[in-house]
Amino acid sequence: MKSKNVFFILFLLTLLALYYTLFIYNKPPHLEKTNNEITFGELNPNAPPETLQFGQLVGQWDCTSYDLLPDSTWHKSKAKWVFKYTLDGYAIEDTWTEKAIDSTNNTTILGRDFNGINMRLYNPQQSQWQCVWLDNRKNTMSPIWQANYNSSLQEIVMHDQSLNWKITFFNINANSFDWNYKILQNSTWIVVSKIKGARLKQKALE
């Protein structure tokens, strides 16, 4: 009887060891716990300090966007915007995601999800940001955009060489920001798109 009990105990211990090896020690990466620092990266201590200008947006944001339509009404959309440090903490990468299920203006035109990626790198030689935008509307990459931080207004303003449009991040704080896109028409700046961002509290990406 004792030998059977010993055998049974050894059998259970073997199963536990096997379970630990297969499911705990060697668990898939997507099951591992992550935290905010690992998921979103961190600023490299040797990076230009200006990197924090966009770095303050690192995290996940629920966004409501408004696009001006030809009939002068505003089309409301929902999206997610995720900012993180990349290139060993020297740059900011952010991804924009609109799901077709939300029937947003962009996805209605596309007939599918609308996704875009920004790469933002501060150039200390030129004392300005250089940004590139890629999206799946036409599978294109933008020319390099410039951006500067207005410390008195605490705003980030983006533009290209044409100076016919500008994008502004403003009212930036720990939990929210505003964004707008303006175009120049007959010497007047007209807002054609607006975004309100609210920070998500989750630490890990979905």
Average pLDDT score, the chain? 82
With H, G, I as helix, E, B as strand and everything else as coil, classify residue 123: strand
Q: How many CB atoms lie within 10 A of CB 46?
A: 8
**pLDDT of res. 91:** 98
Domain boundaries, the chain: 2-31, 36-199
Rounded Cα distance between 178 and 168, Å, is: 8
**pLDDT of res. 139:** 83
36-199, which class in CATH? Answer: mainly beta
Mean pLDDT in order along the chain per 10 residues (206 residues): 46 38 36 50 97 97 93 90 97 92 63 89 96 89 95 95 96 97 96 97 52
Model confidence pLDDT, tens digit, residues 46-58: 999 999 999 999 9
Query: Alpha helices, DSSP H only, in the chain?
Result: 2-19, 36-40, 52-55, 105-110
First to last CA, the chain: 53
